[in-house]
Amino acid sequence: MDIKISGDFGMIEIPLWLAAGILGAWIATTKGRSGCGWFLLCALLGPLGLVIAAVIPKKR
């Protein structure tokens, strides 16, 4: 049984995770949070990071 790994891994996943990071940073900055920190968090967590960024309250 041969297991083949496609060489295309990352062609879709990496841009999607980077887009999640950019969108998460934008959401966080509109709420008064750190854009750089939230970019890293959302880029690492992907869609889950976007959900977290969307539900955090605005900074007072």
- Which tens digit of pLDDT belongs to each residue from 21-47? 999 999 999 999 999 999 999 999 999
DSSP assignment letter at 56: S
Amino acid letter, 28: A
pLDDT at 55 over 80: yes
- Cα→Cα distances 36→1, 23, 40, Å: 45, 12, 6
Residue 34 in tokens: 């750190």
DSSP assignment letter at 59: P
Residue 11 has a pLDDT of 76
Residue 3 has a pLDDT of 63
Residue 2 has a pLDDT of 63
Report d(CA 7, CA 14) in Å as an integer: 14
Mean pLDDT of all residues in 6-24? 83
pLDDT at 6 over 70: no
Gap between the terminal Cα atoms of the chain: 59
